[in-house]
Amino acid sequence: MRPAILGDHQLKRYISVRVVDSSGKPAYYAKVVLYVSQTLASGPLPEKYTNSEGLAEFETDLDAFAQVSVSVNGYERVRSGPSRRNTKS
């Protein structure tokens, strides 16, 4: 994630998801959904589809206690939160 400061107190985070196929090649047009669970707002972010490089990028406001789950083509692939780091399902 790379943070960006907007205005005086607003912090936006960009989460990039790279999807590859079983041979390690970028997966084009894979459906990626981020599910966010945090203090004030929870739920899925609008879905994105990967580009020709296998990348999908999301912009979000995550708080310090946010938990994020990444699903690709309907299957949960990664879950992370304040107490764990990128644990594969």
Which class in CATH covers the domain with range 2-74?
Answer: mainly beta
Q: What pLDDT does residue 87 have?
A: 44
pLDDT above 90 for 32: yes
For the entire predicted model, the pTM comes to 0.75
Confidence of residue 13 (pLDDT cuts 50, 70, 90): confident
Core vs surface per residue 42-66: b (16+ CB within 10 A) or e: eeeeeebebeeebebebebebeeeb
Report the DSSP pairing between strands 67-72 and 55-60: unpaired
Q: What's the pLDDT tens digit per position in 48-87? A: 999 999 999 999 888 778 888 999 999 998 888 665 444 4
Q: Where are the domains of the chain?
A: 2-74
Longest pairwise C-alpha distance within the chain: 45
